[in-house]
Amino acid sequence: MPDNDYYETLGVARDATPEAIKKAYRALARKHHPDVNPGDKTAEKKFKQVQQAYDILSDPEKRSLYDRYGNAAFEGMAAAGPRTSASEWTARFGEPGYETIDFSEFFGPHGQAGGGPGGEGGAGIFEDLLGRMRSSRGARQRGGRSVEAHLTIPFLTAVRGGETTINVQRGDGKTENLVVKIPPGVDTGAKLRLKGQGEPGPKGGQRGDMTIVITVEPHAYFKREERNLVVEVPITVPEAILGAKVDVPSLDGMKSLTIPPGSSSGLKLRLKGQGVPASGGKPDGDLFVQLRIVVPRSIDDTSRRLIQEFAGHNKQNPRAGLW
């Protein structure tokens, strides 16, 4: 367990709310994700640190232990030999359309299940003690440890929902394809549970669960704000002054949008119900079109003369009274 401060890693105060921690994690995960920074070892290391910090601080029990004892609260998790931390159980891409998760990394030197610091199953000395207490009361099967993997999905899949297939390599060397259903409206940091797909329990015990942490790829032009989408649309100077009808992109294809006369750069126009589709009892989000006026770099003499005439008829000073 590294000695870095998890709060400093995420850039939040020690009394930060769960919402603030989640927001900080999402921003840093997007910034340092290996898919966004291919071949950048520094970014990869930072991404793992961010994930490890979030694994601890997003869990109320783990956060409470960390606040009381610091990193020492989790040092006992490394007692069973070489193990891989949950933050390092990052899914690796295999063949196209599949994501490979190597479960052989989750086992110790003799095939014994091994949890990792910061992982779902990393209860360390606390779980070991509980297991010994149960054993002393009589034979009782224990479930396997839960494991964690990371899955990167396209922006539109996250918004609309869908399915993807992951290729799982079990600790015994066998390969299994699992279908992961992506609910509509998920965002970076969301966790999906695959029940019974973790490590096998000792002595025939039930398997633990697999937790999949979602990272959403950036989109070429859509940005997301909760359940709303934002797209920046460039317009000409005449369109801004006189108004116009333009086509803008939406999840369902191009939509016609009326630009009112006298529009300024930065103005947001709303297309109601064209954002993230309704799901989980939440209504449809909206699509906000943010205007950006594009000024031509060069103009002909006639255009210059007309603009000078326009300026002579319009003496407005937009900076008046600002300072």
- In the structure, what pLDDT confidence band is assigned to residue 142 with cuts at 50, 70 and 90? low
The candidate with the shortest Cα–Cα distance to 26, out of 287, 224, 159, is 224
Q: Residue-wise over 155-176: b if at least 16 C-beta within 10 A, else e?
A: bebbbeeeebebbbbbbeeeee
Task: Give the Cα separation of 269 and 257 in Å (integer).
Answer: 9
Q: Which CATH class is domain 222-313?
A: mainly beta
35-44, 65-74, 94-103, 166-175, range with the lowest pLDDT: 94-103
Tokens representing 289 are: 């079109």
* pTM for this predicted structure: 0.53
CA–CA dist 198, 91 (Å, integer): 14
| Host H or E run for residue 49 | helix 41-57
Q: Decide: residue 94, CB within 10 A, 0-12 exposed, 13-18 middle, 19+ buried.
A: middle
**Could you tell me which of 143, 85, 140 has the C-alpha nearest to residue 114?**
85
Half-sphere exposure of 19 (CA within 13 A, CB side): 1
pLDDT per residue as tens digits for the range 231-244? 999 999 999 999 99
Closest to 131 in 3D by CA, of 143, 119, 147: 143
| Lowest model confidence (mean pLDDT) among 69-78, 87-96, 225-234 | 87-96
Q: What is the pLDDT of residue 89?
A: 32
SS3 68: helix
For the stretch 129-141, pLDDT in tens is 334 334 334 444 5
Give pLDDT, residue 72: 65
Identify the pLDDT of residue 75. Answer: 53
Q: Which fold has domain 6-216?
A: Helix Hairpins (1.10.287)
Residues 26-40 pLDDT 10s: 899 888 887 778 888
Does residue 213 contact residue 189 with C-beta atoms inside 8 Å?
yes
Mean per-residue pLDDT of the chain: 77
CA distances from residue 284 to 94, 272, 315, 317 in whole angstroms, order as listed: 35, 8, 44, 41
Given a cut of 50, is residue 323 above it in pLDDT? yes
Domain boundaries, the chain: 6-216, 222-313
